[in-house]
Amino acid sequence: MLKLVPAPRVQSRELKPWDLEETTAFLGAARKDSLYPAIVLAVALGRRRGEVLALRWSGIDLERRTLTVRNQIQRAQKELYADSTKNRRTRAIPVPLMYVAPLRWQRLRQAAPRNDAGHAWHDSDYVFTTRTGRTIEPRNLSQAFERITEDSGLRPIRLHDARHGCATLLFAVDVPARVVMEILGHGHSQIAVTMNIYTHVSDDNRREAMGHMDRLLRRRRPE
């Protein structure tokens, strides 16, 4: 006789993203890194690693301070390719004022390798590229994140956990759940799950984290 056995419960990994102090300390330490503009996108705007590396200049409007996420870079065996975003939606994301200068710096910085490469330059329109204009290997961004974290003496977290930290800070300043979902690129069906994951913000955090993300990070960024 067949006996039904209850399926084992899946234990979700407890998330412990950085708080405001840790986030701003990391961003201060990251400013000297060549991948700083990409790191800010992942940490301060909660972008997925693949979405950061798939960002194109044609999707950035610095005058209106928006960027459009259309794709994500994925690896299939030995090949990198641009895939649709996780929920297959194209999204225009507001850009905090603190991110405009790093983007302008990245555009200027990219001009030198483009001139040096000449005809070898691959005109991909990607914001973050190799010295020949091709997309960056995703694990290189993760390794840069880990290196900066270790050098700055912060407790180690995953790059993806920094994305969760962005959500935590947004909830701390009472940004509505649906708005946070749009910024992070979650489907609306995930709102209940997202609230359970991210709303572990203490009263002290809520009192301290007043204002919007841009003001919070600029106010505490090291000189």
Place of tokens 């065996």: 77
pLDDT computed for residue 213 by the predictor: 64
Instruction: Give me the pLDDT at residue 210, please.
Output: 41
Residues 6 or more apart in contact with residue 8 via CB below 8 angstroms: none
pLDDT confidence of residue 84: 74
| Spans of the chain below 50 pLDDT | 10, 188, 201-211
Strand intervals (E) in 62-182: 66-69, 71-76, 79-84, 91-94
Structure confidence at residue 33 (pLDDT): 92
Whole-number Å distance between alpha carbons of 74 and 82: 6
Q: What is the CATH class of 20-220?
A: mainly alpha
What's residue 129's pLDDT? 92
